[in-house]
Amino acid sequence: MAIIMITDTSDAWLDEITDIEQVEVRDYLTNQRWSKRSGVRVYNLCQSYAYKKLGYYVSLLAEARGQRAFPTVRTIQDLRRNTAMRLIPDELQEIINTSFAPIASDEFTLSVYFGRNTAKRYDRLSRALFNLFQAPLLRFDFKRRGKWSLKSIKAIGTAEVPESHRSFVAESAILHFRTGKQPSSRKATFRFDMAILHNPKEGDLAPSDQSALKKMIKAASHVGINAELITHDDSARLLEFDALFIRETTAINHHTYRMARRAEHEGLVVIDDPISILRCTNKVFLAELLQKNRVPVPETVVLHKDNWQTVITELGFPCVLKSPESAFSLGVVKVNDEQELREHLKKLFTESELIIAQQYMRTDYDWRIGIMDNRGLFACKYHMARGHWQIAHHRENQSTRWGRYETVPIELAPRKVVHAAMKAASLIGDGLYGVDVKQSDNNAYVIEVNDNPNLDSGVEDAILRDELYRRIMESFLHRIERKKMHHS
């Protein structure tokens, strides 16, 4: 994707930002060659973003032309109205309090230039703020009343950069533009760009291992997509890409969901899309959705503090309790009697007002049916961990023990299992899903639909091998092409 920088000043310090084409603002706004170009990322470094000023019109027309402005008009408006203040997640608040703990004053102003501050000790905070409030030049005002809180945010123009900061701004811009930049000869062979979000710290709980991630990048290149691994720290770079493929465990109150929403809003093809994350990561929603649409599921009860005893009369023991946002068998417990029920519910109700209770169905394995574009991709048997009732045995202060797996051609998987999985996935969307199904007495029961299914080398790809990743990347390609055609 071509990158240009729009300026409305002849200040010499901006010439220090090298390797990026600089375009004078009136040329960009009125010259037909810019209105006809697609695949352009526009860095708006005008002196002011005020309504109806030139800087405002740069971002506005870039959006109308199907180009990507940085900042977007929406960001400019949100920052002006301070509606963006509501976006502060808990983990960022912790970074704010930690960063400013040594400061004696009760007020502090932090300038963030392309994700950096002139004081290195604020690097982590500056990067986090830049990832959340995406504009090249930002100014944050904080106040302390017991704890530090953010009082105002402003996307500033170049005219508001102090003289003493200007060389640092140029240096920060150069570093930002060079991050992840590919040689032009290589990029020219690709039609589109994809970001694959992963988290190296997830270890064996990551939805894809390193070998699978490499296979994805290779498969993407074969269909004309330049795929690049990114982490949460790179979220400010989202506008460089045409697609986002999330290969990190998703959750609602989490950066994965925020990145999915931002990417979708900016016109990227996103898997997992935010609606799928919303629908799949909450077991209460899933239970209601599946039962309402008559998808076969184990006997299920939604519990709150006043009806918890219905478990005893409606399900009996043993039964399974699930925290609404449980994943990888974490937050899922089996209870064998009323005492265990009381103990576990006491803890679970501190985390959520509603809890899922389900009939316990003993099986040697769970089916996992992989689905994309409402078509079957793979079928796996996930066997229970040795000596345990789940496929993953999480042991305190020890590594997780997993059961063995057995992958079969999806055409050979039981028809009832595949049919139940397809029906469940279709209620969520047309993205990439892994549906867990139990088979008992010749019947199939959907346990859950996962928006972020495992794709590990040698497991889910054991039958299709590289073809599995090629099919996924072809789906991305077709989605990107449709979106580009729609906006052309």
Residues 369 and 440 both lie in one domain = yes
Question: Which CATH number is 416's domain given?
Answer: 3.30.470.20
Q: Among 313, 261, 315, 281, which residue's Cα sits nearest to residue 87?
A: 261
For residue 455, CA distances in Å to 29, 65, 82 come to 46, 37, 40
Q: Is 287 inside a domain boundary?
A: no
List alpha helices for 367-458, DSSP H.
415-426
Give 398's pLDDT tier (boundaries 50, 70, 90).
confident
Structure tokens at 365: 């394995």
Q: What percent of the chain lies above the pLDDT cut of 90?
A: 64
Q: At what angle do helices 123-132 and 90-100 cross, to 10 degrees?
A: 150
Q: Is 159 inside a domain boundary?
A: no
Q: Is 134 inside a domain boundary?
A: no
Tell me: cis bond preceding 436? Omega within 30 of 0 counts: no
Q: Encode pLDDT of 205-260 as tens digits.
A: 899 999 999 999 999 999 999 999 999 988 888 888 999 999 999 998 899 999 99
Q: Encode pLDDT of 287-311 as tens digits.
A: 999 999 999 999 999 999 999 999 9
| Domain count for the chain | 2
Residues 395 and 434 both lie in one domain = yes
Residues 192 and 257 both lie in one domain = yes
Residues 481 and 403 both lie in one domain = no
- C-alpha to C-alpha distance for 443 and 433, rounded to whole angstroms: 21
- C-alpha to C-alpha distance for 251 and 484, rounded to whole angstroms: 29
Q: Is 265 inside a domain boundary?
A: yes
Instruction: Give the residue numbers spanning the domain of 410.
Output: 363-450
Residues 443 and 483 both lie in one domain = no
Q: Encode pLDDT of 35-62 as tens digits.
A: 888 778 899 999 888 888 899 999 999 9
Q: Is 262 inside a domain boundary?
A: yes
Question: Which CATH number is 215's domain given?
Answer: 3.40.50.2300
Q: Among 113, 206, 109, 100, which residue's Cα sits nearest to residue 158?
A: 113
Q: Is 442 inside a domain boundary?
A: yes
Q: Is 113 inside a domain boundary?
A: no
Residues 386 and 430 both lie in one domain = yes
pLDDT, residue 18, reads: 77
